[in-house]
Amino acid sequence: MIGFKVGDVQQKTKVLVTGGAGFIGSNLVEYFLKKNFQVVCLDNLSTGKYSNIEPFLNLENFTWIQGDIRDFSVCVSAVAGCDYVLHQAALGSVPRSINDPILTNSVNISGFLNMLVASRDAGVKRFVYAASSSTYGDSSALPKIEDTIGAPLSPYAVTKLVNELYADVFSKLYGMSVVGLRYFNVFGRRQDPAGAYAAVIPKFVMSFLNQNEIVINGNGEHSRDFTYIENVLLANDLALQAEDENVKGQVFNVACGAQTSLNEMLSIMRGLFAVRQMDFQPKGVVYGPERIGDIAHSWASIEKGKELLNYYPTHDFKSGLEEAIDWYIQHYRGA
């Protein structure tokens, strides 16, 4: 079960979660429902799943709206009466953006601007949005520090950078309290293992469970700061409720502050399956060409988050992976 340790419960506090039927969004919906917030969930179900929010439909403090953030009137309706907005709605995936930059732009930029304007006009107390580590682009500096970014390497990265620029302008021009959270390779329960743009961890786990071949783009030495979903929930709660005025208009890395290569991840995964006395092993490992738009290494500094948000991750990579594997075993074993 999800644990809740941050902030005081306020029965009348109302929060809108856009993209609330998605992987991260539905976890945020559940998190704040359990804290007795009034939660409004907006999603067009293009990548989100109705099954993710179905358990909440009969709860008195939950409101479901199926709609698209590219429709400004939908944004206005969804944010009405809300104290806070947690904006998660976006089209993720670097490869998807390379294949369809126009669609990615319309959702991630036009939709984002719609939500900013609607939130400004509604007078929300704070607008917290999902930024991305892709904003660091071709910068080779490690660890990644919020104030040092490079040139974007994909249309997706461009859209997330533009989000940050708009957020900064709205903060300065209109006095909005806007906070960006740069997510680093988030994984955990409800992350879909299927589809062309599935993330690497659920794909690998399913390859173990189904004894399929594992395909790694590159030589496996690419590294990431893999971040378990519980750390993301914590960061959103801290960003939403932070009283420090210095938080306004800022962007923060949300990560563990550690590197793990794909080869290391595969080795850790083998060990975790072995501990569970499961003989499942992938058929084999195939190393293929690197993906266009990928960076070699990603590792976040989380010092700014510690200082201004009191963000200290509750899960390191291995402990998060243990929980994620158990969830996939429970929900997908034999699938």
Active-site residues: which are they? Answer: 156
Residue 14 three-state SS: strand
Rounded Cα distance between 34 and 25, Å, is 14
Torsion angle in degrees (nearest 10) through CA of 84, 86, 89, 95: 150
HSE-CB of 47 using CA atoms within 13 angstroms? 24
DSSP conformational letter for 22: S
**CA distance between the termini of the chain:** 23
H-run or E-run covering 323: helix 317-332
- Backbone φ and ψ for 310, nearest 5 degrees, come out as 60, 40
322: Cα separation from own chain's centroid: 19
Residue 39 three-state SS: strand
- Find the angle CA(120)-CA(122)-CA(124) to the nearest 5 degrees: 70
Dihedral class, residue 49 (left if φ above 0, else alpha if ψ from -120 to 50, else beta): beta
What the block records as the tokens of 101 is 């930059």
- Find the angle CA(33)-CA(324)-CA(305) to the nearest 5 degrees: 65
Closest CA to 131 of 107, 163, 158, 103: 163
Residue with tokens 């306020």: 10
